[in-house]
Amino acid sequence: MKVSGRKTGSALSHAPDNWYAVDWRRVERNVRGMQIRIAKATREGKWRRVKALQRMLTRTLSAKLYAVRRVTQNQGARTAGVDRELWDSPESRRLAVGRLKRRGYKPLPLRRVFIPKANGKERPLGIPTMLDRAMQALYLLALEPVAESASDPNSYGFRQNRSTADAMAQIRVCMSQKDSSQWVLEADIKGCFDYLSHTWMERNVPMDTVILRKWLKAGLIYKGELQATEAGAPQGGIISPTLANVTLNGLERELEKHLGAKFGIAKAKKLKVNVVRYADDFVITGVSKEVLENEVRPWVEAFLAVRGLQLSEEKTHITHIDQGFDFLGWNFRKYSGKMLMKPSKKSVKTFYRKVAEAISGNKTVKQEDLIRLLNPMLRGWAEYHHRVSAKRTFSRMEHLVHQRLWRWAKRRHPQKGADWVRKKYFHSVGERNWVFGVPVVNEDGSRRLLELYSLSGTAIKYPTKIKGEYNPFDPQWEQYGEQLRQKRMWERVRHRKQLGKLFMSQSGLCAFCGCALTLETGWHDHHLVYRMHGGTDALSNRVLLHPYCHQQVHAGNLVVTKPVPG
């Protein structure tokens, strides 16, 4: 990568005069170096050193720049807190860096909002101010290496390079064989985020206790009234998922130690107790119902009670694998001894209702607009479920969507015959008939058929589970983590052929700063020679940049050259 008109190699000793002059590669290198040191001290059990390194990191300019960038580049950047302040200009972001100070810091109350849940109920969220979000992002940089180094191997929620697919794959490992566990405890924590014990967190979360207490006691404002927060960690903050993870860490390791101490290591292994957790949702397998009911569940209830939590009596069950159970939108069940994982009935019904409402609510829009509305919904749902045995479900759902679209098309032309409607809205593509599509004109003047995403054409591919011991802040896992990141990013972009080719040609790195392109950072498609200057849309004239790097390039009138592969 070559860049013209850009200063590199300068030390970050003072705040930049221009937000676009920040050397983000150096920022990320400085932050990651400190995080690696914190993780190493954690693994060695040197807690005084951990605390000293965390304090050092939260005071560095690099960490503050990184924190401000994170909260101003994510999707929530356009949502204000109770002070109605947004950092939507380069100057406001530059000035915000100087406001991230521990001394005199006092968080404002959270703004309470409610968002709909899949079951029709509402989920409460607490929206912090931009300053409080940035402070959370800053202290999360110091907390995350500790949390990762102390996490349970089979905890998969809100952790780097881990996903629901990994949790699903681990359940398959634990329950798919003939001699595997046959029983499972489906656990549901009652209002996890609402009842987390402040006292326990202040004593056990490895971060600045004074700052943590201020966040926990900040309160909420709802309908103009201030409400005190005596328990819980409000959903909506950047650091909240990690706080919940830290609180539940030990569920797997400590249960294993408990059973080993009570029954002996050899006998404990024969009980085949395995914990698989994603955030606050978890299942525990066992060799028998009695083991889960008499040994595991009482221990879990005691473990949670110390943290101010309890299991929901209505939603916590012990189930045999032959009857099946739902977890993370999938159904796990053995049919005649064979383990199959399918999209759950609840997930299918919820998705179909969403698609049906989108079609019925857009009766008069153009066919092109309807396809562009539906395609992300269909592709997103298929991408989530293509890791399980969903072929039959995909075909059934495609048939139901087709019926809806046929009614949508016929309603628009009540005076026309069925054959006329079919020819206008449906096409034949290769061996596929009745393809819902419309001819569109590309930017270069060529024509193509814009098709509705084909659910039945989605390939089924079981995932390879991440290694439980993987630690993104341990240098010995660096190569494994990079390969994993590129592989999983490729899975996200592969259906967009040109984007996928650019991503692979750049080895998944930004062509400007050389840092990783991730789902969190996002990316922009940059033309090396601007189209207004005669540049084309050819891949040879395009590169992928971080959004903030793209802004720097345009603001500084910089030139980026095509990176050389390899």
Count CB atoms within 10 A of the CB of residue 70: 20
How long is the chain?
566
Strand 325-327 and strand 330-335: pairing? antiparallel
DSSP code at position 335: E
CB distance 368 to 323 below 8 Å = no
Predicted structure pTM score: 0.90
> Distance between CA 408 and CA 259 in Å, rounded?
59
Q: Which helix (H) or strand (E) holds 301?
A: helix 297-306
CB distance 511 to 526 below 8 Å = yes
pLDDT tens for the chain, residues 1 to 566? 444 434 444 446 677 788 988 999 999 999 999 999 999 999 999 999 999 999 999 999 999 999 999 999 887 888 999 999 999 999 999 999 999 999 999 999 999 988 887 666 788 889 999 999 999 999 999 999 999 999 999 999 999 999 999 999 999 999 999 999 999 999 999 988 889 999 999 999 999 999 999 999 999 999 889 988 888 887 888 999 999 999 999 999 999 999 999 999 999 999 999 999 999 999 999 999 999 999 999 999 999 999 999 999 999 999 999 999 999 999 999 999 999 999 999 999 999 999 999 999 999 999 999 999 999 999 999 999 999 999 999 999 999 999 999 999 999 999 999 999 999 999 999 889 999 999 998 877 788 999 999 999 999 998 889 999 999 999 999 999 999 988 888 887 877 788 888 998 998 899 998 888 888 888 999 999 988 888 888 889 999 999 889 988 988 888 888 876 65
> Distance between CA 97 and CA 74 in Å, rounded?
17
AA letter at 299: W
CB distance 211 to 131 below 8 Å = no
> Distance between CA 94 and CA 98 in Å, rounded?
8
Q: Which of 128, 156, 289 is nearest to 214 (CA)?
A: 128
> Distance between CA 125 and CA 72 in Å, rounded?
19
Cβ within 8 Å of residue 123, ≥6 positions away: 114, 115, 116, 117, 235
Beginning with the edge strand found earlier in the chain, give each strand of the sheet holding 330-335 in spatial order: 325-327, 330-335, 338-343
> Distance between CA 381 and CA 344 in Å, rounded?
12
CB distance 112 to 124 below 8 Å = yes
> Distance between CA 330 and CA 388 in Å, rounded?
8
Strand ranges in 83-147 using DSSP code E only, listed in sequence order: 110-116, 122-127
